[in-house]
Amino acid sequence: MALSNIIQLNEFDVTQKIIESLSSVYTRAVLFSVKNESKDATQIADELKLSLSTVYKTLSSLEDLTLIEVHKFIFSNEGKKIKKYRSRIGKVEITLDDTEPILHLHPNKKF
């Protein structure tokens, strides 16, 4: 059986990837940390007591799934460009219909 590549993904595959991602406590914590206000990776790591590498990896995954977005860029005192992230999701509902999961993503109305 041949493995699917990213171009061959169907809706169930994307739904499954989002559900799998949201099953991680780190992913949910990061996602909902930026629900009410935009934050940079360092702020998230400090708030959640996670390593910065874990936060960056989680943010990258969430950004790939379009569950978060870069809200704006700021510049540090050293002139570094810093991304401020925010959640695009305000509420998540997962239901089962027979054997197919149904994912309902509700937009974040805070922004």
As a whole number of angstroms, the distance between CA 57 and CA 107 comes to 23
Flag whether 49 is in a domain.
yes
Flag whether 80 is in a domain.
yes
Flag whether 87 is in a domain.
yes
Q: What is the CATH number of the domain that holds 35?
A: 1.10.10.10
Which residue in 24, 43, 18 sits closest to 33, CA to CA? 43
Phi/psi of residue 93, nearest 5 degrees: -130, 130
Total domains in the fold of the chain: 1
Q: Distances from the Cα of 86 to the Cαs of 32, 40, 93, in angstroms?
A: 9, 9, 19
Contacts of 108 (CB under 8 A, 6+ apart): 35, 86, 87, 88, 89, 90
- The yes-or-no verdict on residue 6 having pLDDT over 70 is no
**Domain that includes residue 89, residue range:** 11-107
Its pTM stands at: 0.80
Phi/psi of residue 3, nearest 5 degrees: -80, 145
Flag whether 4 is in a domain.
no
Give the pLDDT score at 12.
55
For residue range 42-84, list pLDDT tens digits in order: 999 999 999 999 999 999 999 999 999 998 888 888 888 999 9
Flag whether 6 is in a domain.
no
Conformation bin of residue 67: beta by default, left when phi > 0, alpha when psi is -120 to 50: alpha
Flag whether 2 is in a domain.
no
